[in-house]
Copies of this chain bind each other. A is one copy, B any other.
Amino acid sequence: MMKARVLVTLKSGVLDPQGKAIHHALEGLGFPGINDVRAGKLIELDLADGVEDSAIEEMCRKLLANTVIENFKIERLG
């Protein structure tokens, strides 16, 4: 058993209204020093041993991320 996480983020040119709303709300709550906020998705995978990184990358390309507007990052956890 093995855990991996996939972080899906909007590409840099893509507008992020959710991130803007969070940014605005944090400022409204009085938090100083926030330059920018970007919202993304986190997908945690609990995998059988032997699932390769290349398989996880294929999952991202086929389903988890929209690679036209999103980047993804795969991180293995122990």
Across the interface, do A55 and B31 meet the contact criterion of CB distance under 8 Å? yes
Q: Given the complex of chains A and B, what is the CA–CA distance between A55 and B59 in angstroms? A: 36
Residues of chain B with a CB closer than 8 A to A19's CB: 43-44
Number of copies: 2
Residues of chain B with a CB closer than 8 A to A41's CB: 39-42
Name the residue on B nearest A56 (C-beta). B31
Q: What range describes how many residues of A lie at the interface? A: 35 or more
Per-residue contact bits, chain A 38-69, to B (CB 8 Å; 1 contact, 0 not): 11111111111111000100110011100000
Partner of A42, one of B8, B29, B32, B50: B8
5 A-B pairs with least C-beta separation: A33-B48, A40-B42, A36-B46, A35-B46, A38-B44
